[in-house]
Amino acid sequence: MNPWLLLISVCIAIVLALWIPRLRLKRALSAPFPPEWDALLERNVGVYHKLPLPLRAQLQRLILQFLHEKNFTGAAGLAITDEIRVTIAAEACMLVLNRSSGVYPGLRYIIVYPTSFLVERSRPSEAGVVELGAHNLLGESWHNGKVILAWDSVLRGARDFSDGQNVVLHEFAHQLDNENGSADGAPLLANTSSYRSWARVLSEEFSELQDDTRHGRPSLMDHYGATNPAEFFAVATETFFEKPRQMAQNHAELFGVLKDYYRIDPGDWQEQ
Ligand SMILES: [Zn+2]
């Protein structure tokens, strides 16, 4: 083949490879949000009807993008329906409102089980020995672009948006935490000073939760957050979205840091 022709063909192939996905996304985003999905979210996501209209419109657009880009697979006989896809997408996208960094660019697959699922994991026992055992999970976030969820827990967590328990918010907070390549409770932040205040506030709050857990004292955040800094960030995210008023009152600095990070104040939604 003529080398010039070959070069032109390669250039055209590269342009098409870049252009076609963008065109497909643009087309997906230009579609109107189906009214039946709107009704479904009113029914399934406890906080959806409280969102201010501009935020709701933004969330709908993010949901369209999420559903365009991610693959859903049912496990253990579960058939994937629009209800499952849209409910999970809505809650996942609440964490990325008011951002321009895309919708979980590293995430490809969401695997949904009908109920909790068993996994083999090695964990340290109380005696400090690492043991292999079967664990029942409601959700799991993998660093290789995968989230696994139990649908009954998803629905329970979505409908009751005030108990501080939400498996979708939890697992997708882990996805955000992973965006910089390490799950350490510190996601990508805007600048160096943000990292300084993040490290100070979250480590103080983490120690306090560990202390409460050790002494069996009640706490606003679930004691599971005392497991490690990554779990603390995921649990704090659940509390931030579901119990914003209590967090602002009792953990003001933590609330402020998370409000800066998520660029929203879920306490405002309770006013609506
Ligand atoms: Zn977790």
Q: pLDDT value at position 129? A: 67
Q: Give me ligand 1 centre to Cα 234, in Å.
A: 6
CA distance 214 to 116: 27
Q: Give me ligand 1 centre to Cα 206, in Å.
A: 14
For 191, the token pair is: 């600048």
Three-state secondary structure call for residue 215: coil
Q: Give me ligand 1 centre to Cα 69, in Å.
A: 24
Cα–Cα distances in angstroms (integers) from residue 93 to residues 118, 151, 198, in the given order: 27, 17, 22
Task: Report the C-alpha dihedral over residues 140, 146, 152, 154, rounded to 10 degrees.
Answer: 90
Enter the pTM of the model: 0.89
Mind listing the pLDDT tens digit of every residue in the chain (272 residues)?
788 888 888 778 877 777 787 888 788 788 899 999 999 999 999 899 999 999 999 999 999 999 999 999 999 999 999 999 999 999 999 999 998 888 999 999 999 999 988 887 776 666 666 677 778 889 999 888 999 999 999 999 999 999 999 999 999 999 999 988 888 898 988 888 888 999 999 999 999 999 999 999 999 999 999 999 999 999 999 999 999 999 999 999 999 999 999 999 999 887 54
H helix or E strand, kind and range, residue 269: helix 266-269
Q: pLDDT value at position 269? A: 82
Q: Give me ligand 1 centre to Cα 15, in Å.
A: 40
CA distance 169 to 221: 14
Q: Give me ligand 1 centre to Cα 42, in Å.
A: 27
CA distance 177 to 223: 19
Strand partners, 74: 112
- Report the 10 Å Cβ neighbour count for 184: 13
Q: Give me ligand 1 centre to Cα 8, in Å.
A: 49
Q: Give me ligand 1 centre to Cα 138, in Å.
A: 10
Cα–Cα distances in angstroms (integers) from residue 141 to residues 12, 165, 173, in the given order: 38, 16, 9
Q: pLDDT value at position 272? A: 46
CA distance 68 to 195: 33
Helices assigned H by DSSP within 31-137: 35-44, 53-69, 82-94
Q: Give me ligand 1 centre to Cα 123, in Å.
A: 14
Strand partners, 120: 134
Q: Give me ligand 1 centre to Cα 142, in Å.
A: 10
Q: pLDDT value at position 128? A: 63
Q: Give me ligand 1 centre to Cα 186, in Å.
A: 14
CA distance 84 to 151: 7
Q: Give me ligand 1 centre to Cα 25, in Å.
A: 31
Q: Give me ligand 1 centre to Cα 87, in Å.
A: 20
Could you tell me if 138 and 156 are in contact, meaning their C-beta atoms sit under 8 angstroms apart? no
H helix or E strand, kind and range, residue 112: strand 109-113
Three-state secondary structure call for residue 21: helix
- Report the 10 Å Cβ neighbour count for 168: 27
- Single-letter residue type at 124: P
Q: Give me ligand 1 centre to Cα 171, in Å.
A: 6
- Residue 20 phi, psi dihedral angles, 5° rounding: -60, -45
CA distance 118 to 216: 28
Q: Give me ligand 1 centre to Cα 271, in Å.
A: 30
Q: Give me ligand 1 centre to Cα 21, in Å.
A: 32
Rg (CA), the chain: 21
CA distance 201 to 185: 12
Q: Give me ligand 1 centre to Cα 232, in Å.
A: 8
Q: Give me ligand 1 centre to Cα 23, in Å.
A: 36
CA distance 191 to 209: 27
